[in-house]
Amino acid sequence: MNTDMKTTFHKIARLLAVPAAFLLASCSDWTDPESLGLHTPEIGEEYPEQYAAYLENLRSWKATAHQAVLATFDNSTAEPSSRAHHIASLPDSLDVVVLTAPELPEWQQTEMEQTRRDKGTRFIYAVDHDGLRSDWEAAGGADAAEWTAYLAERMATAFDACEQYGYDGVLVRYNGKSTLHMTPEELAVYTAEQRAFIGPVTEWVDGSEPKLFLFGGDPTTLLDPKLLLKADYIVVDTSAATSVDELTFAVRSCMGPQVPAGRFVVTVPTVVRDDPDAVGYYGKEMALPLAAEDTTLHVRRAVSIPYLDMTIDTAARFGVEICHNDYREFYIPGGQRYRGTDFAVEGDWSAAAMLLVAGATAGEVTVRNVSMLSKQADTAICEALVRAGAAVIDEPHSITAARRPLRGFEFDATHCPDLFPALAALAAAADGVSVLHGTSRLQHKECNRAEAIREEYGRLGIEVDLSEEDTMRIRGGEIRTAAVRSHGDHRMAMSLAVAALRAAGPVTIEDAGCVAKSYPGFFGDLKTLKA
């Protein structure tokens, strides 16, 4: 950013800091409200020359080569009731904004055009494969052939809004599936479905230059990745990452032989004041030591505290200091640099938890290269196993879980929400009702895990009750033969597979190949338990 722009920006910032106060009075006998005609002048009205210079510098900056800032804005409010509903109130620093509702009322279109003209911000909307699938299922769709036809029909008009409302481009979201475990018949159906979605995208991209084209989702699931070479950016969803290891894993999972990783942009959650769980500070903790100035982060209510500890500990091993005051404030000195070091990567306790539950419910299992001394949150699975009555043997570099008569148990997974699928399989095998707390943490995982557990375990004959706030109650019982869905969630697929070890007959899991996200060899290891 050049000096003139900085000077203008600081002048405007000082002006914005001037406080205003309003005195409201009421009386018991008034009838209709009276408009007082109050008007607070905007910065551009009060200081037109300075603001015009600021905007000119802003547009010039955005036209240069720099690290772009992208954001999603929920514009679904038809009638604005606060400044937060206005496109014109978006931060000036944004380069590209993805609007969630493509069809714009006149006032939104006007604000979009003015913001683009004044601030150089570009606007796009999303064409979402999973969203189209949800619409089709909500309408009662079930047949695969009908779904492909429906998809082709919707995609025929998916890009019309781009010209109609004057958008600068489109974000195409597609997650797809792993073809690793597909039969030839399943692969043929999957290929036809992908072509019905990606074909129109390719046609639009080829005919719409220089419109922006962003790809979001899992690029490795594209059968023909050449389309990615035409993408301006590839958006990798890392918003669920709670440590640098998970962030790195999420990015590496999207890399492939023909995937241009140099175009990756990663997503981070922003803090929502109404949602105490939306902390989103883990990635910031890793990035802010590189800032020029010191930073203090204020947290209303910290959750997943073990992951905060892991982040701080990992940063310290690379020579970076992060301090906190009982997890309410985090002080991060600026001007730091990460230093190379020798680092031993621990075994993954989230994966180990599934195998240990398999041992506790269907036979004895020993998992090596894990230790109870780890800071990983999911070491808590051992506490849950003991509460349920399983035998747990802790050795220096391994943990063993063995089957014993299991009883219902109570467990709070607020700080280790990734354990819920494993805990569900454990509770399903226990005698009586198990009570699990912390379900509010499950809504924004790979799927809404609380609802997915209720739905899929219900198909297996297990009663799951979510009527109490932040609580899941599971009544254990026999597992019956059924066809269930993974919901594209690797932990759900593993959970259902572990539960199926106790079934009297076959259990079919749709899209079981999604386990490749974190544990590609899971089913191979699981087979040894049945041998």
Q: What is the 3-state secondary structure (H, E, C) of 41-92?
A: CCHHHHCHHHHHHHHHHHHHHHCCCCCCCEEEECCCCCCCCCHHHCHHHCCC
Tokens of 184: 């030839």
Report how far residue 49's alpha carbon sits from residue 252's, in angstroms, rounded to the nearest whole number.
Answer: 48
Nearest C-alpha neighbor of 440 from the set 413, 406, 474: 413
Are 376 and 399 spatial neighbours (Cβ–Cβ below 8 Å)?
no
Are 296 and 330 spatial neighbours (Cβ–Cβ below 8 Å)?
yes
pLDDT in the model for residue 37: 42
Residue ranges with strand state E in 409-466: 410-412, 433-437, 463-465
Report how far residue 398's alpha carbon sits from residue 340's, in angstroms, rounded to the nearest whole number.
Answer: 29
Are 398 and 392 spatial neighbours (Cβ–Cβ below 8 Å)?
no
Burial of 514 (0-12, 13-18, 19+ CB in 10 A): buried
Report how far residue 76's alpha carbon sits from residue 506's, in angstroms, rounded to the nearest whole number.
Answer: 45
Nearest C-alpha neighbor of 406 from the set 475, 491, 492: 475
Considering Cα of 474, then 480, then 483, then 489, what sign does the dihedral take?
positive
pLDDT in the model for residue 27: 33
Give the strand order in the sheet containing 295-298: 295-298, 329-332, 323-325
pLDDT in the model for residue 530: 60
Asked if 418 is an active-site residue, the reply is yes
Tokens of 265: 């942009």
* pTM of the full structure: 0.52
Tokens of 40: 């607070």
Cα–Cα distances in angstroms (integers) from residue 82 to residues 76, 87, 196, in the given order:
13, 11, 40
418 φ/ψ sector (left φ>0, alpha ψ -120 to 50, else beta): alpha
With a CB cutoff of 8 Å and minimum separation 6, the contacts of 199 are 155
The helix (H) or strand (E) run that includes residue 171 is strand 169-174
Pick out the chain residues at pLDDT < 70.
1-43, 82, 268-286, 444-445, 530-531
Q: What Rg value do the Cα atoms of the chain yield, rounded? A: 26
Centre a 10 Å sphere on the Cβ of residue 73 and count the other Cβ atoms it contains. 18
Tokens of 68: 């772009």
Which pLDDT tens digit goes with each residue over 79-113? Answer: 887 677 889 888 888 899 999 999 999 999 999 99
Report how far residue 505's alpha carbon sits from residue 429's, in angstroms, rounded to the nearest whole number.
Answer: 16
Report how far residue 247's alpha carbon sits from residue 243's, in angstroms, rounded to the nearest whole number.
Answer: 6
Cα–Cα distances in angstroms (integers) from residue 116 to residues 4, 170, 349, in the given order:
21, 16, 48
| DSSP three-state, residue 431 | strand
Are 422 and 353 spatial neighbours (Cβ–Cβ below 8 Å)?
yes
- 3-state percent helix, strand, coil for the chain, nearest multiple of 5: 45, 15, 40
| DSSP three-state, residue 509 | strand
pLDDT in the model for residue 166: 94
Burial 379-412 (b: 16+ CB within 10 A, else e): bbbbebbebbbbebeeeeeebbbbbeebebbebe
Task: Say which of 378, 418, 489, 511 is annotated catalytic.
Answer: 418
Burial 171-187 (b: 16+ CB within 10 A, else e): bbbbbbbbeeebeeebe
Q: Residue 516, Cα to own-chain centre: how many angstroms?
A: 18
Nearest C-alpha neighbor of 456 from the set 403, 416, 418, 512: 512
